[in-house]
Amino acid sequence: MTERSQRPETINSSDYRLRTPEDYLQGMDAEILHSFDARQRQAIERLLRDAIPKPSPKVVDLRFTVDLILGRFYVVLFVGKERRRGVRSYLPARATQVGNAIAAIVLLVGLNLLITSVLFLLLYLLKSALGIDLFSGEHLIDKLNKF
């Protein structure tokens, strides 16, 4: 058995945000790890520090799962300041750009309809609770049925 297989893993997937370069280096065989001189080890640690993603503050951080008969799906929506460096090294295909634009429009329209519906419902319930009668002798459903 090698020393690595006897050693417990220090990298825990549930603590992804807490990982340090040292965690990754400890996953290496001890013989290889000790073969680096101080300068090489500092260079590797600097490289790992730059490679490990750093979480950025988000204005919106919405995460939830949807359980359907066919399977379980997750939905994630982040809104925050763009902190990635530079531009993409590739240009997305035209179909991808169009698809992204359509998805963004559908999401915005859906969110707008949801907020408008909830606001309308809350105002209608408030009006009813206060006893305000906008249509004398009739309810909103009666007006909608006449329409």
Digits of tens for pLDDT over the chain (147 positions)? 444 444 445 455 456 667 788 888 888 888 998 899 999 999 999 998 888 877 778 888 889 999 988 899 999 988 888 777 777 777 888 899 899 999 999 999 999 999 999 999 999 889 888 888 776 777 777 777 887
CA distances from 147 to 10, 27, 127, 140, 143 (A): 68, 71, 22, 11, 6
Q: For the chain, give the longest Cα–Cα distance.
A: 89
Contact status, residue 44 vs residue 25, Cβ threshold 8 Å = yes
Looking at the DSSP assignment, which residues form a beta bridge with residue 74? 65
CA distances from 130 to 43, 125, 134, 137, 142 (A): 70, 9, 12, 16, 20
Q: What is the pLDDT at residue 53?
A: 78
